[in-house]
Amino acid sequence: MTCCEGWTSCNGFGLLVLLLFGIVLNAVPLIVNLVEEDKLFESPISCFEWWFPGIVGAGVMVIPATTMSLAARKRGCCNNKTGMFLSSLLNVITIIGAVYCMLVSIQALAKGPLICNTPGNTNCEFSLKNLSDIQPESFNLHWFFNDTCVPPGNSNIPNTNNTWPSNWTAYSLDFSSEEDKRRIIHFATFLGLLLVGILEVLFGLSQIVIGFLGCLCGVSRRRSQIV
């Protein structure tokens, strides 16, 4: 097995692990919702998980490239220049899905869970326009780091104009609190999906490069052909 085939096989294994993580992370708030509220299509935590960034973007769209890359381990369909070239093309789909997962996760992290939104600010529509409306100063995750994310109207709510609340070091999240539990699940889910998307982009780009190198330089022949 040449370095091209070996690298392709490693990329396939890495993508397999990441797509499984993406599917599991996307399913977490859906399962919690089903178990606690017995409602499958009404999420009390968020609504961005219904855009399926982990199941579709980081999951289903990664399967073709993963399957093709893992075939190199047994010197299958990647054991020729055409196979290596095809593996590169399929990773373009992987990158598109991973970028979609990242964009949905960024918007979800900027918005926060539904419990932290005001009644007039519960729009979970995903679009590039909504992403462009997110300003750097508003992306401060105050809904997670402040001691409460209850909508404005309570004078005890800390100033959300600061990126870090003044007493954040003294504040600890309490998983027994319904508000804190939803914030933790939302934060962990979409931060995890964001990291999965970033890693999938890196693996996809890596396979595109190594696929073109394998296409240009060639790969090893099957042992049966050598004998």
> What pLDDT was estimated at residue 39?
61
Q: Among 137, 115, 118, 104, which residue's Cα sits nearest to residue 183?
A: 115
pTM for the structure as a whole = 0.79
Rg (C-alpha) for the chain, rounded Å, is 22
> What pLDDT was estimated at residue 187?
92
Give 132: exposed, middle or buried? Use CB within 10 Å, 0-12, 13-18, 19+: exposed
Decide if 35 contacts 75 (C-beta within 8 A).
Answer: no
Domain boundaries, the chain: 3-222
Q: What is the mean pLDDT of each run of 10 residues along the chain (227 residues)?
A: 70 94 93 71 75 94 92 64 82 96 91 75 66 63 73 44 41 64 90 97 93 72 42
> What pLDDT was estimated at residue 44?
67
